[in-house]
Structure 1
Amino acid sequence: MPTEPQFDIVITRGTLFDGTGAPPFQADVGILGERIVAIGDLSQAKARRIIVAKDLHVAPGFIDIHTHSDISAPFNPWQSSAIAMGVTSQVVGNCGISLGLALHDPLFAFEQRWLAAYGKSIEWSNFNEFLLYLEEQGIGTNFLPLVGHGTLRKRVMGMADRLPTEEELHAMSRLLEEALEAGAWGLSSGLEYLPSGYADVNELATLCSLVRRYNGIYATHLRNEGDTLVESVQEALEVASKAQVPLQLSHHKAEGTKNWGKTKITLAMVDRARAEGLDVQLDQYPYPAFMTSLVVQTLPRSAQQGTNEEMADRLKNAQFRCQIVHEILAAHPEWNDLEPWQNILIGVCRGKPELQGRSVAELAQEAQKHPVEYVLDLIIETEGFVSAINFSIGEEDIVRVMQHPYTAIGSDAVASQVNERSLQDQIHPRVYGTFPRVLGRYVRQQQVLSEAEAIYKMTGLPAQRMGLTDRGFLRAGCYADITIYNPQTVIDTATFEHPHAYPIGIEWVLVNGTVALENGRLTNALAGKVLRANNRESR
């Protein structure tokens, strides 16, 4: 009688990085079902499938600690761009935005527009129903959902520019607790965005105190990442200190040339807070440009109030518009010149797609308008549904933040895929390239990090931050989330001009023991799980 195979899959002859930051070693990996069951010399073992990893490196599947892929999950369940760059788990619901808390209501137009473009709509009424929706549909990577403070606030207070009443704060707490009971991993805020930005320290600390009771984290997109970066980090530290909750500083950077170098100050603040006992960590994407709403990048808060339609209507008023132009140029006198606008490119602009990828400077010149006037007209025409890519992050800051021992890698992506519909959107190349870029540019080419350090920042560090005990590491008993790559060729190919491009060098990806990428080709497996913080069986 033939011997029954001991393993479903054996990965053989590879060089292993175990996710702890330890040096690599030669070993085979044996997988049975969803889990790794053996690591060592398995050359004599029998397996249903053998993956030969000669000259390849084997690592835990990358954990993307900062994404917005809950937005794309309903229309891209395969999460193709994430899988293609080696990501097997994503922390979703960052920057205060939670699709799972959005409603089929005009107030949630932003969330609805993303789905409507792909023929989808909101089919849930609470956080748990959204998670059940994903579980029933299937998902390509594991999802760890956060509760977005901005969406939470909209559910209770709409776009009101004030602090909550006691009853409203209680209502927000109740919704937050329902989500935490459903398995959310913590709270995120996006204080640069409204309505999250209307909150003060006390409101955030009150909600975070509830998060602490559930052993969750607080991830924050700071109130400002440029001129008042230091003050914004201090505010985040104050919230975390009051609530005694672990703090994650999202996509840490210093925007604007005059602010380059401020990361020396902010990282020292992190170190000091950690020395005093506060659990503070960071994440980062390795690019010289950020991408967000053109409204947020250019308009003062006084112009952003209300819905997008209300904002656009106010900007049509000549007196109000004159006042806003004055405020903008008082805050940014350099914007009187064309040169700074050459570094700001129109991103996703579904109302006027012909503008995508072009600089504001070029477009303003063609229109024979002052750049600020051009931007205001564009915001009116698109009702604010336009993003922009801003080249304002210094390379020295990127390297400094990357080398900090508590910085994890996070893409800030909405997972996408290369198809006819997605190609219409001018997105950020981080969606396809973040993790291969670190391994190719910053490890192999520039030696900013050792390979073991980089893998730790992509696996073990985010796993520990989220409280995952059986993901993020290569060891017996862990789930078989595994990425196999060629260290000599791995690199991003997505660019700001052509962002929809899969990387090279990521050869195999396994999610919960199922092959999701085979010899560099997507299998479209839906092997991911919605990981609920209160369900240790799935963690």
Structure 2
Amino acid sequence: MQVLHIKVTGAKNFGRMKEVIAIVEAAQKRGLEISANQYPYVASSTGLIQTIPPWAHEGGNAKLVERLKDPATRARIRKEMDDPNPTWENRLLSAGTWHNVQIASISNRSIDSRRTGMDTGYKRFEGWRVDDAAKEMGKDPYDFVFEMLIANGGGVGCVWFIIDESDLKLALEQPWVSIGSDGSALAISGPLRIGVPHPRNFGTFPRVLGKYVREERVIPLEQAVYKMSGLTAKQLHIADRGTIKEGLAADLVIFDPSTVADRATFTDPFQYPVGIPTVIVNGKVVLDNMRHTGERPGVVIRGHGFAGASH
């Protein structure tokens, strides 16, 4: 079992990572193969519709939009969003305030539930905190959120500042927690430059090496490297990668421990890291002196459960 991007969220849960660790370690002692991965940030990322109670999602985004347009149903939704003791995972409750929610991307899904590229007037708020955007529009934050969801068919991605730094560090110290970005394949230019996304897409691994190894000394360098390579391969049962050994795939990242660092931020996430001059994939140099060589030797790595592609 793999716990994906392990964390505890919401101010009321800050400090409870030690309880999570105790649960995992108790399961390990019983013989269960259980581990986790994490990204090194105090914010997560998911859709704004996660603030809406589950029953309002029944039937898909089109039905959700219909419910948000109905005044009585909309009032019920708002009331449940404010309930301090919900029966569902209320993402707004974890955030505490709308200021802890940052608009990351606007993807208009109002037509056939697909991206249309049409600007509904909200793309200018990508990178804004919800309360600031609502104030700019002269609206109550809840009404602003509802109307933005309606206009875009629910297609609004957000960054949520809901994680405590001490919990993050405690998880990072655990030998069974590897590093994973939970990111997407984005680019600094062109069609894959989308919105103002979470900086984890560009900064996860160098952030660990720069901030948590060199600057804050949370874990030693060799442990950090293992968490990004050998441990990950072990957790995913990938036998031919993750370590340097004759006969294995030659995937190597050459970095300077004294300078490696992330540059991506929550307000300017499309920035490459520094201190990583060379990357080798399957024995081919892909990045040389911080420049792409044009080589594309990457391959899809299939898990043991892969049964073949369907066409």
Q: TM-score range by the shorter chain?
A: 0.7 to 0.9
**Paired position in structure 1 for 2:42:** 288
What residue identity is the alignment partner of 1:292? T
Aligned to 1:392: 162
User: Aligned partner of 1:323: which letter?
Assistant: R
Question: Secondary structure of 2:83's partner?
Answer: helix
Q: Distance in 2 between matches of 1:321 and 1:381?
A: 15
Deviations 1:184-221 (A, max 9, x none): xxxxxxxxxxxxxxxxxxxxxxxxxxxxxxxxxxxxxx
Question: Residue 506 and residue 378 in structure 1: after superposition, are their counterparts in 2 closer, same or farther (change >3 A)?
Answer: same
Supply the distance in 2 between the matched residues of 1:417 and 1:409 (Cα, whole angstroms): 21
Amino acid at match of 2:202: Y
The residue number in structure 1 matching 2:113 is: none
Q: Which residue of 2 aligns with 1:347?
A: 104
Distance 2:304 2:156 in 1: 38
Distance 2:301 2:128 in 1: 40
CA contact (8 A) 2:11 2:96 kept: no
Q: Identify which of 302, 310, 314 aligns with 2:63.
A: 310
Partner of 1:348, secondary structure, is strand
The Cα offsets for residues 128-163 of structure 1, whole Å up to 9 and x where unpaired, read as xxxxxxxxxxxxxxxxxxxxxxxxxxxxxxxxxxxx
Say if 2:183 is the partner of 1:413: yes
Residue 452 of structure 1 is aligned with which of 210, 213, 222? 222
Q: CA deviation at 1:339?
A: 7.6
| Alignment partner, residue 498 of structure 1 | 268
How much does 1:532 deviate?
A: 2.8
Q: 1:146 corresponds to which residue?
A: none
CA shift in 2, pair 1:461/1:424, >3 Å: closer
Distance 1:409 1:332 in 2: 33
Give 2:80's match in structure 1, choosing from 324, 327, 343.
327
| Partner residue, 1:174 | none
1:286-343 deviations in Å (ceiling 9; x for gaps): 01111110001x111111222212210121111111111111111479979x982111
Residues in 1 aligned to 2:57 and 2:295: alpha-carbon distance in whole angstroms: 42
Indicate if the aligned counterparts of 1:493 and 1:503 stay in contact, CA closer than 8 A: yes
Q: Report the secondary structure of 2:82's partner residue.
A: helix
2:17 is aligned, of 252, 257, 263, to: 263
TM-score calculated relative to the size of structure 1: 0.51
Unaligned runs of 5+ in 1: 1-246
Q: Are the aligned partners of 1:339 and 1:361 in contact in 2 as well (CA < 8 Å)?
A: no
Question: Which whole-Å CA distance do the structure 2 matches of 1:366 and 1:470 have between them?
Answer: 53
Describe the shift of the 1:422–1:468 C-alpha distance in structure 2 as closer, same or farther (beyond 3 A). closer
Q: Which amino acid aligns with 1:397?
A: D
Take 2:96 and 2:130, find their aligned partners in 1: how far apart are those partners?
Answer: 10
Would you say the 8 A contact 1:282–1:406 is kept in 2? yes
- Matches of 1:375 and 1:527 in 2, distance apart? 44
Partners of 1:353 and 1:424 within 8 A in 2: no
Give the letter aligned to residue 501 of structure 1.
Q
Q: Is 2:226 aligned against 1:472?
A: no
Structure 1's consecutive aligned runs of 4 or more residues displaced over 6 angstroms after TM superposition are 332-336
Deviations 1:419-466 (A, max 9, x none): 143444211110000000000000000000100100110011111112
1:277 counterpart residue number: 31
Going from structure 1 to structure 2, the CA distance change for 1:517 and 1:393 (only over 3 Å counts) comes to same
Cα distance in 1 between the residues matched to 2:49 and 2:302? 34
Kindly provide the amino acid, as one letter, of the partner of residue 61 in structure 2: N
Larger RCO of the pair (alpha carbons < 8 Å, separation 6+): 1
TM-score (norm 2): 0.88
SS of residue in 1 equivalent to 2:155 = coil
Aligned equivalents of 1:423, 1:289: Cα separation in 2: 20
- For residues 165-204 of structure 1, the aligned pairs below 5 Å read none
SS at match of 2:106: coil
Question: Aligned partners of 1:505, 1:276: CA distance in 2, in Å?
Answer: 42
Q: 3-state SS of the aligned residue for 2:36?
A: strand
Structure 2: distance between partners of 1:458 and 1:321: 45
Task: Provide the secondary structure at the position in 2 that maps to 1:330.
Answer: coil
Aligned pair count?
287
Aligned to 2:279, which of 509, 515, 521? 509
> Deviation per CA, 1:41-90, whole angstroms, max 9, x where unpaired?
xxxxxxxxxxxxxxxxxxxxxxxxxxxxxxxxxxxxxxxxxxxxxxxxxx
- Equivalent positions of 1:153-232 (< 5 A) are none
Cα pair 2:185 2:192 within 8 Å, conserved: no
- Whether 1:426 aligns to 2:188 is no
Instruction: Work out the CA distance in 2 between the residues paired with 1:415 and 1:283.
Output: 19
What is the CA-CA distance between 1:374 and the residue it aligns to?
Answer: 1.8
Cα distance in 2 between the residues matched to 1:484 and 1:511: 11
1:467–1:420: structure 2 CA closer, same or farther, 3 Å change rule? Answer: closer
Aligned counterpart, 2:8: 254
User: How far apart, CA to CA, are the structure 2 residues paired with 1:421 and 1:332?
Assistant: 42
Deviates more, 1:339-348 or 1:447-456: 339-348
CA-CA distance at 1:525 after TM superposition: 2.1
What amino acid maps onto 1:418 in structure 2?
I
| AA of the residue aligned to 1:269 | I
Structure 1 residue identity aligned to 2:44 = F
In the aligned structure 1, how far is the partner of 2:300 from the partner of 2:25?
33
- Structure 2 counterpart of 1:488, one-letter code: S
